Amino acid sequence: MTLLGGLLAALVLLAAPASAQSRVTDCGNGYNCPAGQACLLGGVCGRVVDAAPGSVRLSNGNWCDPGFRESTVRRGTCVPGSYSECANGMICPSGTQCTADGKCSGGPEATGPMCGGSRCAEGRICSSRGTCMNTAYFQDCGNGTICSKAAACEMPSGCVIVAPERVRQQPNRR
């Protein structure tokens, strides 16, 4: 073997571990997921996708999850489909209306759980963030992160759109 051949072989060996590592996503908990997959709560991985089936394309090219629509007041943002929009960008749940000062009024009396010093509307729950949450549109990841129903809870926090198939996270090699 020539000197040049030996140097090339050494470079290939040095690069091999780096390229093997680039084929995984480090979850930061001693485990990893295959490249292109997100680390999700519960020790699983999901393949990242641009949009969930049934999503609506926004005017800025982004997506609204199923059940949401583009705001007519704040273009490029999503609002739950049954909510109404106030001129100041505030949104009001169905059964309520916008007031002149951009707040919500009307609707049935709040009879849900106490949450953060106020009572939630019936059917809402108190989230891990200490705010009322509409479970028809959102899910609580349990760590202060609230995701749409179409998104998965990413670890350690955040939301990500992934394909429905899941694989277990694998231990990092040392």
- φ and ψ at 7, to 5 degrees? -65, -40
In a domain, 5, yes or no: no
Whose tokens are 């953060």? That residue is 116
In a domain, 61, yes or no: yes
Q: How far apart are CA 95 and CA 121, in angstroms?
A: 11
pLDDT in tens, 38-96: 999 999 999 999 999 999 999 999 999 999 999 999 999 999 999 999 999 999 998 89
Per the structure, how many domains does the chain have?
1
> What average pLDDT score do residues 133-139 get?
95
Model pLDDT, residue 103: 87
How crowded is the C-beta side of 174, counted as CA atoms within 13 Å?
A: 1
Model pLDDT, residue 107: 87
In a domain, 167, yes or no: no
In a domain, 169, yes or no: no
pLDDT in tens, 155-169: 999 999 999 999 999
Domain boundaries, position 76: 53-107
Tell me the CA end-to-end span of the chain in Å, nearest whole number. Answer: 31
In a domain, 102, yes or no: yes
Q: Per the structure block, which two tokens stand in for 91?
A: 């949104």
In a domain, 66, yes or no: yes
Q: How far apart are CA 44 and CA 172, in angstroms?
A: 14
Which residues, at least 6 apart from 39, have a Cβ–Cβ distance to it below 8 Å? 25, 27, 28, 29, 31, 32, 33, 45, 154, 155, 169
